[in-house]
Amino acid sequence: MKALTELVLASHNAGKLKELQAMLGDAVRVRSVAEFSSHEPEETGLSFVENAILKARHAARVSGLPALADDSGLAVDALGGAPGIRSARYADGLGDAANNAKLLAALQDVPDAERGAQFVCALALVQHADDPLPIICEGLWHGRILHEPRGEGGFGYDPLFWVPERECASAELASTEKNQLSHRARAMALLKQRLALA
């Protein structure tokens, strides 16, 4: 495989972009897909991996560069894995606060012992839009859903995600710490090994 010197990040989510950029560091020149197109492809896949590939191909097509996409979300045990691949759109596109409120309502009567959940991240890297061999790396982060939001950091469901290994909410972690522990960090560590950037 050709050495990777420049790539486009196929995400329009500011929180994710910040984390991915911090994790990639200076090893590659990182561009944003927003430089090339504001169109967001429909996420029609049934899995995180399918949606990551779809977003990566779109970004490679509009940029002419290798593209890295992240499809991620929260899978809650008591909800049969929901909101899952619909995590960003759980409250019909009304945003993070509405998503969190809907999740708390759905878990209103669920006791602590049954509030297990995992953050999931699928990263897909394609060399070009029609690449037949995307590189796929996944990461999981196990935790529990709190009864009310805590902390100001991170984005999305971070204020509701209890991190057992740190005994705080994900939104209470320093960004450097979240970037070492998270589902995205785990997937990125595998990707770096695969690309020998570690």
C-beta of residue 186 within 8 angstroms of C-beta of residue 139: yes
Residue among 73, 134, 139, 143 that touches ligand ITT (CB under 6 A): 73
Q: Is 71 a catalytic residue?
A: yes
Contact range with ligand ITT by CB under 6 A, out of 21-29, 72-80, 110-118, 129-137: 72-80
Contact range with ligand ITT by CB under 6 A, out of 24-32, 58-66, 132-140, 148-156: 148-156
**Is there a binding annotation on residue 178?**
yes
Q: Contact between 18 and ligand ITT (CB under 6 A)?
A: no
Q: Contact between 159 and ligand ITT (CB under 6 A)?
A: no
CA-wise closest residue to 123 among 7, 36, 5, 2: 7
- H or E element: which one contains 75? strand 67-76
H helices within 64-148, ranges in order?
96-106
Residue 117 CA from chain centroid, whole number = 15
Instruction: Calculate the alpha carbon distances from 87 to 19, 21, 43, 118, 131 in Å.
Output: 18, 22, 12, 12, 27
C-beta of residue 63 within 8 angstroms of C-beta of residue 33: yes
C-beta of residue 52 within 8 angstroms of C-beta of residue 124: yes
User: What number of chain residues touch ligand ITT (CB under 6 A)?
Assistant: 23
Nearer to ligand ITT (CB atom), residue 100 or residue 109: 100
DSSP state of 169: E
Query: Which of the listed partners (Mg ion, ligand ITT, none) does 41 bind, with a CB threshold of 5 to 8 Å by partner kind?
Result: none
Q: Contact between 58 and ligand ITT (CB under 6 A)?
A: no
Query: Which of the listed partners (ligand ITT, Mg ion, none) does 67 bind, with a CB threshold of 5 to 8 Å by partner kind?
Result: none
Q: Give contact residues for ligand ITT (rule: CB under 6 A).
A: 11-13, 16, 40, 43, 55, 70-74, 87-88, 99, 119, 154-158, 182, 184
